[in-house]
Amino acid sequence: MPYLRIFDTTLRDGEQSPGFSMNVSEKMRLARQLEKLNVDVIEAGFPMASEDDFQAVKAIAEQLTKPEICGLARCLEKDIQTAWEALKNAKKPRIHTFLATSDIHLQHKLKITRNEALKTIKEMVTYAKSLCPRVDFSPEDALRSDLGFLYEALTVAIEAGADVLNIPDTVGYSLPYEFGKVIQNIKKNVKNIDKVIISTHCHNDLGLAVANSLSGVLNGARQVECTINGIGERAGNAALEEVVMAVKTRPKYFGVKTQIKTKEIYKTSKLLTQITGIGVQPNKAIVGANAFAHEAGIHQDGILKERSTYEIMKASDLGIKEESKLVLGKHSGRHAFSKKLKELGHDLSKEQINKAFIEFKNLADKKKEIFDEDLEVIAQTESGKSQETWTLSQVQISSGNISIPTASVQLKNLKTGEIKMTAATGTGPVDAIYQGIENIMGVHPKLTEFSMLAVTAGIDAQAEVTAKILYKGKTITGRGASTDIIVASTLAYINALNRALNLKK
């Protein structure tokens, strides 16, 4: 069967959309999971966009060896140079450069003629190829470009040395039949097209990103650019898990295969949610909470008699467990605990394991059953604690429908031993606590996002809170988990402000 490459752009197109920004270590964590998922290419960022982006691409390029690591660059010498600087130590580096080819973009955004665009493509693809062995070229807004001109631009890119031609439906305007036809026509009309790989990059503005990508595959595309959970600019990109499972579930129809380890799909989706604090809707295909839930009596009856009556895929093929398994209990020892963390893929230092073990024991006192998901949160919270200055001693609130929400907060400075206490009021209990924390820690950022997710099912579940703040132009993420939502919210903000203090230094 012909091979279909999976080019993951979660860390670039996905990360650039509102609410999904990640810091370098979060990007690294996700990149490692993408490597386990076995994607062919990781687009790790846009190195010219910011110092953080540069550092993330560089770190991922230097530490991951299995997938190709790609960096995005506009068709500008400086962008390409910077991308190469970040990628040059990668085992398998790739530069992805792009220039718009639609008249709308050429006239209004770039203010250049078609001939100037062709000249730029020729020069910049040649330049990228002189630095990097693999180069992708994207004609941005391809699906609203004049087709004759699109063929010309793609021919120039091939002549200049591009290895992959990626066809973006930048604004999600195309329809499946139309997108497939464009790929077909590119194959017919672009000279030496058989020397390169055709790729798709579809946005989801009309909810058609996956359908368009698959139509591209049916018409000869052999690489799909996509993202975990379909995140990306505006309405997002084609969801990796949907594209992969469509070609796996209908092999005769698509006649292609990928190398994705589908059993890692669910874990990857969950990790993205955990890092960004943004989950998927319950009815989301493949990874949504209801994707394998059967509510209707007739369906349940059918499933009990024969699974295939109402299921076209096996949840276990995605790494979804039938039930959360009870893993450890109140009486489990440190050895079993650290062994379990290793099994879950967490490599904590001895000191971190000791602290995580205390958290585990505290949790086991409050919660009857401890699941893998609980341990994941404990381990991730511990590894996310970087140089804490302040720690929570006490928090208490008073709130209700007829009282002014009031919080008293006591924090301890771990460096000086000083204990500070304050009381504050706010529009709600979280607002009151956050004002108190800001007063003690002396940092006054803007809270840009706040989200809370239940880690497992059940009334005694831990809540995991993600608080994003904007401080000195940087977005900083803080996280906290507890069976008490007020404590989880408090811990998340202290974590964020500790990071802000580190930045200040």
User: Rule CB under 6 A: is residue 138 a binding residue for ligand KIV?
Assistant: yes
CA distance 12 to 356: 32
Using CB under 6 A, which of 140, 242, 359, 464 touches ligand KIV? Answer: 140
Alpha-helical segments (H) within 229-371: 240-249, 251-254, 265-276, 297-305, 334-343, 350-366
Which of ligand KIV, Zn ion, none binds 376 (CB below 5-8 Å, type-dependent)?
A: none
Tell me the two tokens of residue 90: 């990668």
Q: What 3-state DSSP class applies to 390?
A: strand
Residue nearest to Zn ion (CB): 13
Cβ(278)–Cβ(451) below 8 Å: yes
Residue pair 401/428 in contact by the 8 Å Cβ criterion: no
| Closest CB to ligand KIV among residues 170, 262 | 170
Q: Which residues in 196-235 contact ligand KIV (CB under 6 A)?
A: 201, 203
Identify which of 476, 482, 466 has the alpha carbon closest to the alpha carbon of residue 502.
476
| Cβ partners under 8 Å of residue 171, min gap 6 | 141, 143, 144, 203, 205
DSSP calls for 212-225: HHHHHHHTT--EEE
Least separation in angstroms between residue 13's CB and ligand KIV is 5
**b/e sequence 394-427, b meaning 16+ C-beta within 10 Å:** ebebebeeeeebbbbbebbeeeeeeebeeebbbe
| Partner whose footprint covers residue 93, from Zn ion, ligand KIV, none (CB < 5 to 8 Å by kind) | none
Q: Which residue, 168 or 279, is less far from ligand KIV as judged by CB? A: 168
Which CB, 139 or 436, lies closer to ligand KIV?
A: 139
| Closest distance to Zn ion from the beta carbon of 170 (Å) | 6
User: Does 170 participate in binding ligand KIV (rule CB under 6 A)?
Assistant: yes
Shortest distance, position 477 Cβ to ligand KIV, whole Å: 24
Q: Are the beta carbons of 103 and 142 closer than 8 angstroms?
A: no
Give the total of residues touching Zn ion (CB under 5 A).
1
List the beta bridge partners of residue 425. Answer: 406
The letter for the amino acid at 348 is L
Binding region for Zn ion (CB under 5 A) out of 12-20, 83-91, 396-404, 438-446: 12-20
Rounded least distance, CB 428 to Zn ion, Å: 37
Nearer Cβ to Zn ion (13/53):
13
Nearer to Zn ion, 199 or 462 (CB): 199
Q: Which is nearer to ligand KIV, 173 or 450 (CB)?
A: 173
- Location of structure tokens 């974590």: 495
Cα 374 to its chain centre, rounded Å, is 21
Instruction: For residue 277, state whether it binds ligand KIV (rule: CB under 6 A).
Output: no
Residue 17: CB minimum distance to ligand KIV, A: 11
- As beta bridge partners, residue 198 has 165
Does position 13 interact with Zn ion (CB under 5 A)? The reply is yes
User: Which residues contact ligand KIV (rule: CB under 6 A)?
Assistant: 13, 72, 98, 138, 140, 166, 168, 170, 201, 203
Binding site for Zn ion (CB under 5 A): 13
